[in-house]
């Protein structure tokens, strides 16, 4: 979502709010596996996430906004 841009994984608090883990971020052809929690989101980032089915569905619906 637009409100994630420029915020770190800590700021977004994906584990607590969405019950998922970001295991990698793909940015401009480079893959950041196990990204640092201070890494800030960029508009074209692709996230690789891990979580239970319902949590993944919920967050992907949010990401589609």
Condensed to tens digits (0 to 9), the pLDDT of residues 3-45 reads 899 999 999 998 999 999 999 999 999 999 999 999 999 999 9
Residue 24 structure tokens: 């990698």
Q: Give the total number of structural domains in the chain.
A: 1
Domain interval for residue 25: 2-63
pTM of the model: 0.84
> CATH no. for residue 17?
3.30.70.1450
Closest CA to 13 of 3, 31, 61: 3
What would the two tokens of residue 26 be?
């793909």
| Strand ranges in the chain using DSSP code E only, listed in sequence order | 20-27, 30-33, 46-51
Name every residue whose Cβ is closer than 8 Å to that of residue 3 and which is 6 or more positions away in sequence: none
pLDDT one-digit tens code per residue, 45-65: 999 999 999 999 988 887 665
């Amino acid at each position: 979502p637009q409100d994630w841009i420029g915020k770190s994984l800590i700021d977004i608090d994906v584990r607590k709010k969405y019950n998922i883990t970001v295991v990698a971020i793909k940015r401009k052809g480079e893959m950041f596996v196990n990204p640092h929690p201070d890494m800030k989101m960029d508009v074209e980032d692709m996230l690789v996430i891990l979580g239970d089915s319902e949590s993944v569905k919920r967050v992907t619906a949010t990401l589609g906004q």
